[in-house]
Amino acid sequence: MARHELQERSNWQTESGPGGKAGKAEQNLYSVFREAFRGTDYIISDHPTNLKHLYENVQLSPETLAQIYNPDEETMRHAQSRGWGISPDFAITNIKTGKILFGEIKRQDGWVEGKDPSAGRGNAHERMCKLFTPGLLHAYRKIGGITDPNILPFWVVLEGDITRDPKRNREIAFWFDGYEKNYFMWRPGMGGQPLVDHFYKYLCKALD
């Protein structure tokens, strides 16, 4: 669905009212997008399993194998039964093209009014740095089908006080230099519409 078509739809937040569905979904990304995607070519999945077994068949060199623990086949199979890979928090799929945008939600405290700078010492945001590694970037592009070099094959949505932390905002902006479209600061009180607008304005074209 094109952006202008989305704008022609009734504002689902307004229709639901402050105490209705939209109010309850305000800080729930899944509910926001499930409602926003009704009647469109997009769907959102909670913890997709596309990358669940990502690491299991990685071939190591003979030199490495000679220096590490190598369990028997049955033990290895049991150890891998839950999957040696990763589980993104969500995925947005264009059902017509089959392309997938994988996503992470990072909620973290931060330094804001009335708090000390130490309030922003959490590291939830740092765990998203694995997404920038060559191996994961390649896998995300291959599995998700997003080949546009101007867009990363993932989207990070940050929540909580970190979204207003003066240090963390600068830090994350630096990390995403040139790829600012691939993260969104979902600040308190914003509601769901800015989140949906960001997707349609900057990211949905990569799924065409």
Q: Are 166 and 110 in contact (CB under 8 A)?
A: no
Q: Is pLDDT at 17 greater than 90 in this prediction?
A: no
pLDDT band at 89 (very low <50, low <70, confident <90, very high): very high
Q: What is the mean pLDDT of the chain?
A: 88
Q: Is pLDDT at 179 greater than 90 in this prediction?
A: yes
Q: Quick check: is 121 in a domain?
A: yes
What is the rounded CA–CA span in Å between residue 207 and residue 102? 11
Q: Note the pLDDT tens digit of each residue in 18-35.
A: 344 333 333 499 999 999
Q: Note the pLDDT tens digit of each residue in 28-62.
A: 999 999 999 999 999 999 999 999 999 999 999 99
Query: Rounded to whole angstroms, what are the CA distances from 80 to 22, 25, 89, 108, 135?
Result: 40, 36, 20, 30, 20
Query: Rounded to whole angstroms, what are the CA distances from 113 to 118, 139, 186?
Result: 12, 41, 18
What is the rounded CA–CA span in Å between residue 31 and residue 37? 10
Q: Of 13-22, 26-35, 130-139, 162-171, where does mean pLDDT reach its minimum?
A: 13-22
- Mapped onto helix, strand or coil, the DSSP state of residue 185 is strand
Q: Quick check: is 26 in a domain?
A: yes
Q: Note the pLDDT tens digit of each residue in 119-132.
A: 888 888 999 999 99
Q: Whole-model pTM above 0.75? A: yes
Q: Is pLDDT at 187 greater than 70 in this prediction?
A: yes
Q: Quick check: is 160 in a domain?
A: yes
Which domain CATH number covers 121?
A: 3.40.580.10
DSSP E strand boundaries for 47-197: 90-94, 100-107, 154-159, 183-186
- The owner of tokens 């093209």 is 97
Q: Quick check: is 81 in a domain?
A: no
- The owner of tokens 């669905």 is 1
What is the rounded CA–CA span in Å between residue 125 and residue 207? 25
**Number of compact structural domains in the chain:** 1
The 3 state secondary structure assigned to 78-138 is HHCCCCCCCCCCEEEEECCCCCEEEEEEEECCCCCCCCCHHHHCCCCHHHHHHHHCHHHHH
Structure tokens at 162: 């970190």
DSSP state of 162: G
What is the rounded CA–CA span in Å between residue 79 and residue 24? 40
Q: Is pLDDT at 15 greater than 50 in this prediction?
A: no
Q: Quick check: is 131 in a domain?
A: yes
Q: Quick check: is 123 in a domain?
A: yes
Structural domain that includes position 202: 3-51+86-207
Q: Quick check: is 25 in a domain?
A: yes
Q: From the centroid of its chain, how far is CA 114?
A: 30
Q: Is pLDDT at 151 greater than 50 in this prediction?
A: yes
Q: Quick check: is 62 in a domain?
A: no
